[in-house]
Structure 1
Amino acid sequence: MSTHAAMPARGRTRPGAHARGHSRSSWAVPVTLGAAYGLYASFILRNNGASAGRQFWYGLITAVALAALCFALGRIQHTMLPLVRAVAYGALTAAAIGLLVGLTDSSVLRSAALGLAVGLGMFISTFYIYYTHEKT
């Protein structure tokens, strides 16, 4: 009786695979985005005055929050449909931009409208990218 020459092995990984599947960019990109966002939020909150502890803590909290949300979205994005993934990226972008505009002492309507406009642009662009690159 003949058998197959190469039997598929179960449980083996590639030689270059990480143990948990985390690459450097999976945490470096959210940390960089969070740091830039937190710095910008603290500079907006400063409002041409002297720097104080309030701006530092606000920038740190917003940086950690955005980095954690970006990391979490990056970890689960492959399990989502392209439409849901685009909605998630659009909502995250809309909330982040709306918060930054709200720090400039503008009206709530202006910050919501600008956040919605930028979030809609992010939704359209990410949906186009994910839908056209979808593997069937």
Structure 2
Amino acid sequence: MAHAAPKPGMRTTTARTRTPDVFSERTHQAAQWTTAVGLGLVYGYWAAANNRSGGPITGWNLLLGFASAFVFAALYMGVRALASRVRRELHALLWAAFAGCAFGFLYSQTDAAVLRSAGMSLAIAAAVFATLFFRYYTHEDAAGHRIR
């Protein structure tokens, strides 16, 4: 199949260009808060459901769910704000610690043994660290600046 030859003076670059950002800064802020609150509510419901083990919903169960949701959302926003400012090793480590702790707490609500909960959360944290370190390592230049 034939292709058109480039015209003289025509630029033939293969560099990718970013898509334009059509949303305002206010919209991005609202999306960040909505994401944190939404994830927190899902996490809180999951923690409360694991804790009650299919039993009746009680006031303490609701309190656990909302407290878990609040703490998860606050920590998520904190890690999100802090992680983007650090180098790739610490960036991956922060998210791995967050994911490992979050999973460990959920797993401990199922009445599993403490050592099993700790072991499972360490396994999850190690997998998250390996995945994110690879991602951040391949998306930064040698000086540590993110390629956008």
Q: Same fold (TM over 0.5)?
A: yes
Which structure 1 residue ranges, 4+ long, deviate > 6 Å from structure 2?
none
Question: How far apart are the structure 2 equivalents of 1:40 and 1:113?
Answer: 20
For structure 1, the 5+ residue unaligned runs are 1-15
Question: How far apart are the structure 2 equivalents of 1:18 and 1:121?
Answer: 33
Is residue 91–residue 119 contact of structure 1 (8 Å, CA) maintained in 2?
Answer: yes
Is residue 26–residue 74 contact of structure 1 (8 Å, CA) maintained in 2?
Answer: no
**Structure 1 residue 48: Cα displacement:** 2.0
Matching residue within 67, 79, 83 for 1:77: 83
Question: How far apart are the structure 1 equivalents of 2:130 and 2:65?
Answer: 29
TM-score where L is the length of structure 1:
0.81
How many residues are paired up? 121
For 1:71, the aligned partner's letter is M
Structure-to-structure mapping, 1:79-94, within 5 angstroms: 79-94=85-100
Structure-to-structure mapping, 1:47-62, within 5 angstroms: 47-62=53-68
**Structure 1 residue 45: Cα displacement:** 1.0
What SS does the aligned partner of 1:79 have? coil
**Structure 1 residue 18: Cα displacement:** 3.3
Equivalence for 2:47: 41
For structure 2, the 5+ residue unaligned runs are 1-22, 141-145
Question: Between Structure 1 and Structure 2, whose CA radius of gyration is higher?
Answer: 2
TM-score where L is the length of structure 2:
0.75
- Percent of residue pairs bearing the same amino acid type: 31
Structure-to-structure mapping, 1:1-136, within 5 angstroms: 18=25, 23-134=29-140, 135=146
**Structure 1 residue 82: Cα displacement:** 0.6
